[in-house]
Chains A and B, each alone.
Chain A
Amino acid sequence: MAPQGDPILEVRDLVKHFPLTQGIVLKRQVGAIKAVDGVSFELNRGETLGVVGESGCGKSTLAKLLMALEKPTSGTVKVNGEVVDLHKGSNLKRFRRNIQMVMQDPYTSLNPRMTVGDIIGEPYEIHTEVAPKGDRRKKVQDLLEVVGLNPDHINRYPHQFSGGQRQRIGIARGLALQPEIIVCDEPVSALDVSIQAQVINLLERLQNEFGLAYIFIAHDLSVVRHISDRVAVMYLGKIVEIGKDTEIYDKPSHPYTQALLSAVPVPNPEGRETRERIILQGDPPSPANPPSGCRFRTRCWKAQEICAVEEPLLQIRPGTDHESACHFAEVHDVVGAS
């Protein structure tokens, strides 16, 4: 897959099960929510990997695992070829300096009692080596300028800014430690339509300027297409299809990807009566008790007996040039507007 250079981030068989317990005094485990269940991918330097899927598919848990905010049940995360050991403080600290996050909701992810300068400068309190004390104010002002805010507003509080400006503050905080990887979890979905384009442009400009690699988690498929070099489609804790943006959008081979793409409303009324739409019935099954074999089979129109028995592996299938986890993978351009 990774054509050039060494991947900066390597994720192998990452699993996160949240235990379900019963009883108050004598707790016993009765099951597990399989939020992330064997996810592997690589991320190259300066690349953007989009992650899409319905709510509950595990994309936000994946973000938390990458940030080492949750401990994986099993599996490894490698940064620059080095395994991240969550039990070793120094290792973890070094790792966290290199991977930062931009959150979805700019209203709840900024502390209302801290000034913008304190919010953006807080990472320096922990990673003192990045900026000596005297330098910090200047550094924060530089960051404000980089994300398109007025450096003189360093003493203002978050409530004095609009939603789009707050998201810029969140991005500045993510940049403070000069990371190589930024995990963006739905960075524009809480913003007004006319503001979203501004923030997306900013993210792209920063990527070019600093050579950042993004994991871009979003449910807006047109935004993901615009910003991503590669796209991973998740369903119930697993990646069902992964490939270059053009491969996923123009030649989707997994039925779930096809259904997802066809469900996205196209902002153009021409030909809306004849457009192909695959409407999935029902809701995704519970991740506590996923279907046997292929997890998508309960909503799939192609399901056969083999799908209930044998779990399809994520691999390159005949007729496609990217990986797909379907026994009956078949390229089908549902959008038709490529």
Chain B
Amino acid sequence: MKNPSVDTHLLPADSGTIGTEPLLAVDNLHVEFTTRQGVVRAVNGVSYALNAGETLAVLGESGSGKSVTAQAIMGILDMPPARVPKGEIRFRGTDLLKLSENQRSQIRGQQIAMIFQDALSALNPVFTVGWQIAEMFRVHKGMSKKDSYTKAIELMDRVRIPAARQRVNDYPHQFSGGMRQRIMIAMSIALDPDLLIADEPTTALDVTVQAQIMELLAELQRDSNMGLILITHDLGVVADVADKIAVMYGGRIVENAPVHDIYRNPAHPYTKGLLESIPRVDMKGQELYAIKGLPPNLLDMPTGCAFHPRCPFRQDNCVTDVPALHAISGTRSSACHYWREVLDGTAG
């Protein structure tokens, strides 16, 4: 079921994807929610692509649409109120949005898996962790209870939960935050997925535990050549692990680039502002650069470029024209009318 015609208006071709279909290609995806106050357009034409073994970081603030995009890929949006009026999500060339719910549930867990920010609420409090990990094997592989428990213990060992054999019958509340996140990871990698989506996996954890979890994810990725989508708002975590970055703002991708390029020289005023607002050692005692204003209200989006009310480089046409995602090079793009000036430092 290979998609015959790949639209050319999407992302600039990714270096690794020329000629072959990437592992995952999200193409012009729109997601909207019907609420009492009106229609909320949470995702407005998002496109990104990911190859096997690659790590894509999706960076954005709350309300930027980063998690909704991930939930659409995973197929766990509640519909209604959610609706996908436009767009494609191609996984190995197959448009997931055209599949039946039955076919999707085959892919979910086996080929695409997800881990969530809050492991305590993502785990069922009334079942043991062993039972919950083993469920993956019982439901998807039809294994016996005994075999699936053996597998669960193996997995707990693999994610380095100490004394796995003794702890397999413990309940989620008996584990610490970091250990719970390891259990979530064990469940997600149980069936060797090709794509793992991690939605803020370490936001609720301490830095020392965050380092452990990120190391574990990197190791699992090396072993199995998984594609990893890391959704986060932490510029530090992104710099540590990502191969490429998609920066989201107001339901759109505003910048798309390999990790080194973006930190060296951002091509969108929002990315530039975020990077400049990080406290730096040589800036001590001085005022931090702060992006003025507030993130947009999705019910009442600004006209033109969604970032224009906060943008220091705003020109007249930013208020009226929505900027397209301009290709800067083979691997980079920016949704700013003045990306050249932002790159050169001559904007404003």
Residue positions of A touching B, CB distance < 8 A: 54-55, 162, 164-165, 192-198, 200-201, 204-205, 219, 221-223, 225-226, 245, 249, 259-260, 262-270, 272, 277, 279-283, 337-338
| Whole-angstrom CA separation of A265 from B230 in the bound complex | 15
B288 touches which one: A197, A245, A249 (CB < 8 A)? A197
Query: In the complex, what's the smallest C-beta–C-beta distance from B70 to chain A, in angstroms?
Result: 18
Q: Given contacts A194-B290, A196-B277, A283-B209, could you give 17 more A-B pairs where the C-beta distance is less than 8 Å?
A: A193-B61, A193-B233, A193-B235, A193-B274, A194-B273, A195-B295, A222-B279, A225-B284, A260-B207, A263-B208, A265-B210, A267-B239, A269-B239, A269-B260, A270-B260, A283-B179, A338-B281
CB–CB A192/B233 < 8 A: yes
Docked pose: A249 CA to B284 CA in angstroms: 13
Q: Is B6 an interface residue (CB 8 A)?
A: no
For the residues of B in contact with A, the DSSP-based class is helix
B281 touches A282 (CB 8 A): no
Closest chain A residue to B204, Cβ basis: A55
In this complex, what residue of B is CB-closest to A279? B211
B248-262 with Cβ < 8 A to chain A: 259-260
Chain A to chain B: the 7 pairs with minimum beta-carbon distance, closest first: A265-B236, A226-B279, A197-B290, A263-B211, A197-B277, A267-B235, A54-B206
Contact at A268–B239, with CB atoms within 8 Å?
A: yes
A283 touches B176 (CB 8 A): yes
A205 to B260, CA, bound (A): 34
Q: List 16 A-B contacts (CB under 8 A).
A: A165-B294, A192-B233, A194-B310, A195-B295, A197-B288, A198-B290, A259-B208, A264-B236, A265-B207, A265-B240, A266-B239, A269-B259, A269-B263, A277-B211, A283-B176, A338-B281
Q: Nearest chain A CB to B229's CB is how many angstroms away?
A: 18
Q: Decide yes or no whether B234 CB sits under 8 A from chain A.
A: yes
With a cutoff of 8 Å between Cβ atoms, the chain A residues found around residue B289 in the complex are 197
Closest partner residue, chain B, to A226 (CB atom): B279
User: Given known contacts A194-B273, A197-B288, A221-B207, is B294 in contact with A162 (CB within 8 Å)?
Assistant: yes
A224 to B103, CA, bound (A): 49
Residues of chain A within 8 A of B242, CB atoms compared: 269
